[in-house]
């Protein structure tokens, strides 16, 4: 999703951690964990998915307008924060949807407490190591030319790649916060937990792994390997979408998720 440029989002305090959150729709609870950019309240995907679920979409600490507490700087911190969020939603079982970097967090949360979830959806998720030691699975977005990163992020970069010159100052500030925080959390090992793949077998809830067919940040083959490591999970491609199917093909992505939720 493109960066959120509003300050009007709601706040949520989670055991002392202050989060900016977007709420949308009605129905059973759905926790949406964003990727490199925090959730845009104006994204069509939110309204489309909100027809089938009551969405809670926080900005991770350091992203959007969520402050980052001192010494809160690892994926371990984020995972435990979202375990706290699930505690707050209990006793309801929650549908957990994770996008890209947020997919990594969702997979970690699901490994830790699958009993709190009724469904898991991973969309172009990061977080595991698949290939050999000399083959990076995930494009190094920090050490690659920005134009190349954009080219590989989208099925149709001309239509979808963000244009920094068209953003407001506030949007650029948020964009830069997101970029810095992504680097802080994900720099090393680069965007994965070496131990996660082994533990994905603990995920005992119905799982859908969705992947942009044109994703060149992390390939559909990686997505299939992710799905193969989660017992009983389904894998599906979203055509004409890159790393952000929820932005490039919001209708198809929301439909796929809704169908998986049986709604």
Residues making contact with another protein (CB under 8 A): 71, 73, 142-146, 164-166, 168-170, 172-177, 179-180, 182-184, 187-188
Strands 10-14 and 17-24, bridge-based pairing: antiparallel
Among residues 164 and 259, whose Cβ is nearest to another protein?
A: 164
Sheet bearing 17-24, strands edge to edge: 10-14, 17-24, 54-58, 29-33, 94-99, 117-123, 207-212, 234-238
Spatial distance between the Cα atoms of 179 and 196, rounded to a whole number of angstroms = 24
Three-class SS of residue 108? helix
Among residues 37 and 249, whose Cβ is nearest to another protein?
A: 37
Question: Residues 255, 232, 243, CA angle at the centre, nearest 5°?
Answer: 45
Among residues 48 and 149, whose Cβ is nearest to another protein?
A: 149
| Shortest Å distance, C-beta 78 to another protein | 15
Can you read off the two tokens belonging to residue 3?
């960066």
| Shortest Å distance, C-beta 147 to another protein | 9
Among residues 89 and 173, whose Cβ is nearest to another protein?
A: 173
| Shortest Å distance, C-beta 189 to another protein | 10
Three-class SS of residue 211? strand
Among residues 50 and 162, whose Cβ is nearest to another protein?
A: 162
Residue corresponding to tokens 């994900």: 186
Report how many helices (DSSP H) and strands (DSSP E) the chain contains, helices first.
10, 8
| Shortest Å distance, C-beta 34 to another protein | 17
Among residues 130 and 174, whose Cβ is nearest to another protein?
A: 174
- Chain CA centroid to CA 123, Å: 7
| Shortest Å distance, C-beta 40 to another protein | 16
| Shortest Å distance, C-beta 116 to another protein | 31
């Amino acid at each position: 999703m493109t960066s959120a440029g509003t300050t009007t989002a709601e706040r949520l305090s989670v055991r002392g951690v202050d989060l900016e959150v977007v709420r949308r729709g009605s129905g059973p609870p759905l926790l949406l964990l964003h990727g490199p950019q925090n959730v845009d309240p104006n994204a069509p995907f939110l309204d489309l998915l909100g027809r089938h679920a009551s969405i809670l979409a926080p900005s991770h600490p350091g992203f959007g307008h969520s402050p980052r507490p001192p010494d809160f700087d690892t994926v371990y911190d984020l995972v435990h924060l979202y375990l706290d969020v699930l505690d707050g939603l209990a006793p309801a079982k929650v549908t957990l949807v994770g996008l890209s970097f947020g997919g990594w967090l969702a997979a970690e949360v699901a490994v830790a407490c699958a009993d709190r979830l009724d469904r898991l959806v991973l969309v172009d998720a990061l977080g595991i190591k698949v290939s050999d030691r000399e083959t990076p699975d995930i494009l190094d977005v920090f050490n690659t030319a920005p134009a190349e990163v954009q080219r590989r992020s989208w099925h149709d970069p001309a239509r979808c790649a963000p244009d920094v010159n068209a953003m407001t100052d506030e949007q650029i500030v948020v964009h830069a916060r997101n970029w810095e925080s992504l680097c802080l959390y994900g720099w090393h090992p680069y965007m994965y937990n070496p131990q996660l793949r082994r533990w994905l077998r603990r995920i005992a809830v119905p799982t859908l792994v969705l992947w942009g067919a044109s994703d060149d940040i992390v390939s559909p083959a990686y997505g299939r390997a992710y799905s193969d490591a989660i017992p009983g999970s389904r894998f599906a491609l979203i055509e004409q979408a890159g790393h952000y199917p929820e932005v490039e093909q919001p209708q198809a992505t929301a439909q796929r998720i809704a169908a998986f939720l049986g709604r």
